[in-house]
Copies of this chain bind each other. A is one copy, B any other.
Amino acid sequence: MEYNEAKDRFIRAWGTLGANWGINKAMAQIHALLLVATEPLSAEEIMEQLQMSRGNVNMNLRALMDWGIVKKEHKVGERKEFFTAGKDVWELAKQVSRERRRREIEPIIQVLSELQNVSGNDKKAVAEFKKLTSELYEFSSQVDGMIEKFSKSDQTWFYKLLMKI
């Protein structure tokens, strides 16, 4: 397969994957483009290569920087800002799981813990409700803990874990 075709396919696949996981397509595609780029890219270059508007590129670059997976750079003698994505897959995975944990798992754990002090007349319903939510709480907390561990670990830990499985 020709390089340019492969690059396109990769960018589109990354966009689709992102969309499946609740990340907008443009954001995922910009990330993919920066991942395969051999040099830092300017907003201008991203606009051109992905056929997106300036505003869209700007917004999504900021979102990517919020996620901590894209960095801004300056070249000497250039006014323009350039952007890069870390190429280390391991670091990327850790960063993404760290952020999703913070943004999505922590809030549901918070809600589940608040639901524990429920009361009411229908004893059976209340008991079942408590059982369900406390089990969900337990499970979520365990997953949360695993992800925390993972997002602070080094690659060796992960490989050791893989062996054990």
Binding site for B on A (CB under 8 A): 1-4, 6-7, 9-10, 13, 17, 19-22, 35-36, 38, 87, 89-90, 93, 103-104, 107-108, 111-112, 114-115, 117-122, 124-126, 128-129, 132-133, 135-136, 138-139, 142, 145-146, 149, 158, 161-162, 164-165
The one of B129, B136, B158 that contacts A3, using a Cβ cutoff of 8 Å: B129
Chain A interface, DSSP helix/strand/loop, else mixed: helix
| Contact between chains at B38 and A7 (CB < 8 Å) | no
Query: Does the CB pair B3–A119 fall under 8 Å?
Result: yes
Which chain B residue shows the least CB distance to A150? B165
A19 to B1, CA, bound (A): 37
